[in-house]
Chain A
Amino acid sequence: MITISDVKKVFKTKSGSLTAVDNVNLEINEGEIFGVIGYSGAGKSTLIRMLNGLEQPSEGKVDINGKLISSIRGGDLRKARQKISMIFQHFNLLWSRSVKDNISFPLEIAGVPKQERLKRVNELIELVGLEGRGDAYPSQLSGGQKQRVGIARALANDPEVLLCDEATSALDPQTTDSILELLVDINKRLGLTIVLITHEMHVIRKICHRVAVMEDGKVVELGDVLDVFKQPKEQITKRFVQQVTEPEETKETIAHLLEEYQDGEVVKLTFVGESAGQPVVTNLIRSFDLQVNILQGKISQTQHGAYGSLFIHLHGKPDELARAIEFLQAASVGVEVITHD
């Protein structure tokens, strides 16, 4: 569906040249929700802008559905853009137009007759759940409603691809979730391929099928969301995964626990997919002569299943402890013995 091959983007600045995107290769499948995560300045914004030709790559090719976006220009590019929609962090609605007229704008650009435009606009308003707000102006809407208008506008011309540029970063957590649910719904209902960039692992966890992690213009890690959660390889990926699995205070808590429980072991168990549903702790208590103390735990849902982490403290005879840890490792859960350091 989308093939990005050997793409490089160099910006010339006064103080020299800056490589924003450095030799990126990606293959995005049809109907997939593909996430690109990275901190600001990682090059993800530039990368997504090369998918609709708002930026031209310095080197390499971008191919969407057989169209070479990186080399077409003028009318061909404008035509192609009608099928590659985009939504934005700051919504970018026209304040001078009502909700209806904003949604109608891309249809006007595509030259759709007025009667059809009206019909389509009403369908879209219903699709994104903005019934009754059609005549309001953007300034009268909340952030979440504005993004719904943005999404309706992006869907107007039946696109094949939807690009989301930090689409939820300006929204509060609850509104973020409702917008993400809407995106999943659209993805399922219309079979739309969605490419999104974000700096929030929460967004990736909640809706993406696959994820690419970007750092300094390069894709440093790529894979199914669940796999990346299970075994993050790069340091940066681990940090992103921790955003979701380990709340801010976890580190402090763990340090505190290690102080408190001088004997025995503090163990971090990670559950992925199937194993998240198994009664591992119950089995542990039944099978071994140990005291098991649950310290902290969390389970997160991804598009492909659950992912969770649990911190427990085990107290007992050393050989019993060693056998218990072996048992846990065999039970297809991730086991990490936290040590004093």
Chain B
Amino acid sequence: MIEQIFPNVEWPVMWEATYETIYMTVISVVITFILGLALGLLLFLTSKGNLWENKIVYAITTAFVNIFRSIPFIILIVLLIPFTRFLLGTIRGADAALPALIIGAAPFYARMVEIALREIDKGVIEAARSMGAKVSTIVMKVLIPESLPALISGITVTAIALVGYTAMAGVIGAGGLGNLAFLDGFQRSRDDVTLAATIIILVIVFIIQFFGDFFTNKLDKR
């Protein structure tokens, strides 16, 4: 049955590509989460009326975030080729896609983090200050826990965008399902390969969305 629908699909190759896609997505999501959170916190804390209010730092961070957020991903990959080669010694393979994925996604997520943190009631931060909390305590025990549902739904959206980015990265030789669909499916006119790769990508996206929604709802005690 499956053989008939997908006559040209070589399943071991397909699973290998799936593994590469998942690998790229997971690693880049984890690092994007950490970097984006740090950048988002910096944006929030240095913005007007907040704990580390600092116009210069805020302006620099904003400029950095805006620039990398605006460059189309496919161009970002090309622009980062020298950087990737310097870092990893190669521009092929799943690892070589990671710098571009992270640099493309972290600023995007940083903005979402900033928005999530702005939603926190200022009074709660004031209350923590009135109890004698340090900024680090406020970050760890107030800012992050109080915005966690929004942080999780933000990383869900970012992770799904990253799945799309990995497919694009595949086109320039990073491997994964995008690569397979493009080279094996599109260029050799094997529509069933493209279809199978697309279905697997869809399943990955649905799984991410499901867990994202699940945790967002579970954590939201409002």
Contact = CB atoms under 8 A, between A and B. Distances in A.
Interface of A: 52, 54, 77-82, 84-86, 88, 90, 92-97, 105-106, 108-110, 137-139, 153, 157, 163
Given A81-B132, A85-B130, A105 B141 contact: yes
Given A79-B132, A95-B222, A109-B137, A86 B127 contact: yes
B221 A54 contact: no
Max chain B CB contacts within 10 Å: which of A88, A92, A108, A137? A92
Contacts of B72: none
A194 B123 CA distance: 20
B133 A94 contact: no
Interface in B120-154: 121, 123-124, 126-134, 137, 141-142, 145-146, 148
A96 B123 contact: no
B141 A110 contact: no
Given A85-B130, A88-B127, A105-B141, 15 more contacts: A79-B132, A80-B132, A81-B129, A81-B131, A82-B131, A82-B132, A92-B121, A94-B124, A94-B142, A95-B221, A96-B146, A109-B132, A137-B221, A139-B221, A139-B222
A108 B124 CA distance: 16
Nearest to B148: A96
B130 A52 contact: yes
A81 B141 contact: no
A84 B142 CA distance: 20
Contacts of A92: 121, 123-124, 126-127
A139 B222 CA distance: 6
Contact of A109 (B124, B133, B221): B133
A253 B219 CA distance: 56
8 contacts: A77-B132, A79-B132, A92-B123, A94-B124, A95-B222, A109-B132, A139-B221, A157-B131
Contacts of A96: 145-146, 148, 219, 221
Contacts of A139: 221-222
Contacts of B146: 94-96
Contacts of B145: 94, 96-97
Contacts of B128: 105, 109
Nearest to A163: B130
Given A94-B146, A105-B141, A54 B126 contact: yes
Contacts of B142: 94
A97 B222 CA distance: 10
Contacts of A54: 126, 129-130
A95 B119 CA distance: 13
* Shortest Cβ-Cβ A-B pairs, 4 listed: A81-B132, A92-B127, A78-B132, A92-B123
A170 to B, nearest CB: 11
B133 A86 contact: no
Contacts of B134: 78
A78 B129 CA distance: 8
Contacts of B132: 77-82, 106, 109-110
Contacts of A93: 124, 127
A340 to B, nearest CB: 51
Contacts of B137: 108-109
B222 A81 contact: no
A273 B90 CA distance: 90
A86 B137 CA distance: 18
Contacts of A85: 130-131
A97 B141 CA distance: 10
A201 B83 CA distance: 68
Max chain B CB contacts within 10 Å: which of A79, A109, A138, A139? A109
B140 to A, nearest CB: 10
Max chain A CB contacts within 10 Å: which of B123, B132, B141, B148? B132
Contacts of A163: 130
Contacts of A108: 137, 141
B95 to A, nearest CB: 37
A88 B122 CA distance: 12
A82 B129 CA distance: 10
A93 B134 CA distance: 18
Nearest to A98: B221
Contacts of A84: 130
Nearest to A80: B132
A64 B222 CA distance: 37
B127 to A, nearest CB: 4
B137 to A, nearest CB: 6
Interface in B205-222: 219, 221-222
B131 A106 contact: yes
Contacts of A106: 131-132
B178 to A, nearest CB: 38
A138 B127 CA distance: 15
Interface string B30-58: 00000000000000000000000000000
Nearest to B145: A96
Contacts of A157: 131
Contact of A105 (B123, B131, B148, B222): B131
